[in-house]
Amino acid sequence: MTFHFNHWWLAIRPKTLLASMGPILLGTALATSETTINYVIFYAALLCAMSLQVSVNLANDLFDSLSGVDTKHRLGPTRAVQSGLISLTAIKVGLALVCMLALLSGLYLIAVGGWWIFLLGILSFIGVFAYSAGPFPLASHALGEVTVLIFFGWVAVLGSYYLQTGTISWLAFGIATSAGLYSSAIMLINNIRDISTDRHAKKYTLAVVLGDHKARYLLAIFIVAALIIHAAIAMQMSAILWFTFMIMITPSYYLIAKGFKLQGQALNQLLAETAKVGFLYCFSVALSWLYFSL
């Protein structure tokens, strides 16, 4: 079994890692107003989140190939299994190794955070495989965006916040919701791009159910809702957060405008840009919170 780094780099989809890194950074930064940060916990949470993200990507590559969802007509980035770059056996081994890495870092987090973190860990591992496999694959039943909101918003941000503080706050919940909506926008763009091939494969994503036109309006709703929630929190809880709101207006407007305009493979670039904007949101909130907490 020959190892080709470029093939595996393609399979893990490194650009998507921003969606897992940002929420951990965000949740940890928000905790600075309550406690002194434990950086061992931070790095362990970051490693666990990134490992789970890679696991999802490899599992999706594997199971979408097996189910026939991925074909040569795919508009998205090349899939390693479907294109023959990585064998079924090799990607199963790779998936097992990455899951093991997530498990090892997760065990440490469970030792720190107790039963709540254990529960989140179990749900996260179920999510890795339930997203694209099993008797009721979430991605094929219009639940992909909700799943992303839960895991890349609430679980990641609130989980990392809880690990540092031992508590949950309404501030962290609201910010986690905004971060999760930006991540859900990434998923929705992906599904808008794939409407034709997904419909043919009987993969009923939210975009397939709504149709192209309504799905693009939903994309705008996700982004506007993220800003509105953030503004409401800034008004009620912390003026610090207006800094991020001002930063996010222009890139958010750009995403909405491009979301109504771009078609086909051009959506790949918008998907990557949305991931960057989502990370910008997490980073700017974290930076402003850290700066004004000093």
Which has the minimum average pLDDT: 118-122, 167-171, 237-241?
A: 237-241
Structure-model confidence comparison of residues 70 and 265, the more confident one: 265
Listed in sequence order, the DSSP H helices in the chain are 5-12, 18-30, 39-67, 88-113, 115-130, 144-149, 159-165, 170-193, 195-200, 206-210, 212-236, 242-261, 266-293
Q: Which of the pair, 14 or 223, is modelled with greater confidence?
A: 223
Q: Kindly give, in sequence order, each residue whose CB lies less than 8 Å from that of residue 239, ignoring residues fewer than 6 positions away.
A: none
Residue 235 has pLDDT above 70, yes or no: yes
pLDDT tens for each residue of 192-215:
999 998 898 888 999 999 999 999
User: Does 1 have pLDDT greater than 70?
Assistant: no
Give the pLDDT score at 72: 62
CB 219 within 8 A of CB 259: yes
- Which residues, listed in sequence order, are joined to residue 141 by a DSSP beta bridge? 204
The Cα 161–Cα 34 span in angstroms is: 10
Q: Which tens digits make up the pLDDT trace of 100-130?
A: 999 999 999 999 999 999 999 999 989 888 8
Nearest to 26 by CA among 232, 169, 236: 169
Q: How many CB atoms neighbour CB 99 within 10 A? A: 20
Query: What are the residue boundaries of the structural domains of the chain, listed by start?
Result: 22-293
**138 contact partners, CB below 8 Å, separation of at least 6:** 127, 130, 131, 132, 144, 147
